[in-house]
Structures are given as C-alpha cells and as structure tokens.
Amino acid sequence: MAKIRVGFGYDVHQLVEGRKLWLGGISIENPKGLLGHSDADVLIHAICDALLGAANLRDIGYHFPDTATEYKNVDSKILLRRTTDLLHEAGWHIGNIDATICAEYPKLNPHIEKMKETLASLMEIEVSEVSLKATTTEKLGFTGREEGISTYAVALIEK
C-alpha cells in the first residue's frame, strides 16, 4: 500500500524597484521585482516549503538559510531542484502541486503555462501534475496596494 502525505507552504516578498520579477522560475517583465536574500521567487519558495513539510524535512529556511552567503541572489530553481533531490533521497515521489499566487499586478495568466512547464521539469513530474492559479485581493491589504506578492501551495507526495 502506498503511503501519501500532504504539505502546505506559504511565502510572501515585498515588491521593490531595481529588482527583476521572478515567479515560477521565469522572469516576468514588471517595473518592480521581489526583495529577498535569493531571487525571492515566492512561488518556488512556497512549493519548496509544501514539499519539505509533507516529507517532514523541516522548511526552506532550514535547508537554505538566508544567512548563508552561497544563497545570496541564488536562482530559486536551484533550491527547488535540491528540494526535489532531498525528497527522492528520503524515498518520496511528488504526486502533484496546487498553488495560488496572490498579486494585484502584473497579470499572471499569460505566464501560467510557462511556469508550469518550468516547475514540472525541475520536479521531474508531468505538467498536468502542476496546478497554478493567479488571483488578486481586490485592492485589499499589502497585495492589493501592490506592496508585495504572496503564494500558497499544497503538495502531495507518495512513497
């Protein structure tokens, strides 16, 4: 009998001028990017936390601390690839990912398919196993004021 687990991840980063916007492993044209120790890809970070949590392997900050110089400005695709490796080493296979990006701007629907392809490749799963949605907060809160972007992610893993 297969063993399955579910994990939940959440991340948020502030939008600032002078940074590229990276979401789901792709660069998106925008006047502001996300501030963080790495490239601040909130989607990848939330997915990493969901995967690590499902496998009971702590969290992204434990494995890739923002105090470590080797992760300064690191491409978050590397973090997701290493997270996938950690799961495989522990005997887990990724079943599927479901994530929601909360951003008032830019409009993300034109980028969803490319993000899904990129993420699926990094996690070694089919594109059909990655569900991404984009929503706004109807101008409410820090997201609505375009001060930042947040992401929620759920992961199913199996052994």
Distance CA 30, CA 9 (A): 25
Q: Are 25 and 115 in contact (CB under 8 A)?
A: yes
Section 38-63 average pLDDT: 97
> Which CATH number characterizes residue 150's domain?
3.30.1330.50
For residue 2, the model assigns a pLDDT of 82
Mean pLDDT of the chain: 96
Q: Which domain holds residue 9?
A: 4-158
Q: Are 33 and 15 in contact (CB under 8 A)?
A: yes
DSSP the chain: ---EEEEEEEEEEEEEETS-EEETTEEE--SEEE-SSS---HHHHHHHHHHHHHTT---HHHHS-TT-GGGTT--HHHHHHHHHHHHHHTT-EEEEEEEEEE-SSS--GGGHHHHHHHHHHHHTS-GGGEEEEEE--TT-HHHHTTSEEEEEEEEEEE-
Question: Which residue numbers belong to the known binding site for a divalent metal cation?
Answer: 11, 13, 45
Q: Are 19 and 35 in contact (CB under 8 A)?
A: yes
Q: How many structural domains is the chain composed of?
A: 1
Residue type, position 15, single letter: L
Question: Which residue numbers belong to the known binding site?
Answer: 11-13, 37-38, 45, 59-61, 135-138, 142, 145
- What's the pTM? 0.97
Each residue of 69-115: pLDDT tens digit? 888 889 999 999 999 999 999 999 999 999 999 999 999 999 999 99
Q: Check pLDDT > 80 for residue 1.
A: no
Each residue of 122-152: pLDDT tens digit? 999 999 999 999 999 999 999 999 999 999 9
Nearest to 32 by CA among 119, 9, 23, 1: 23
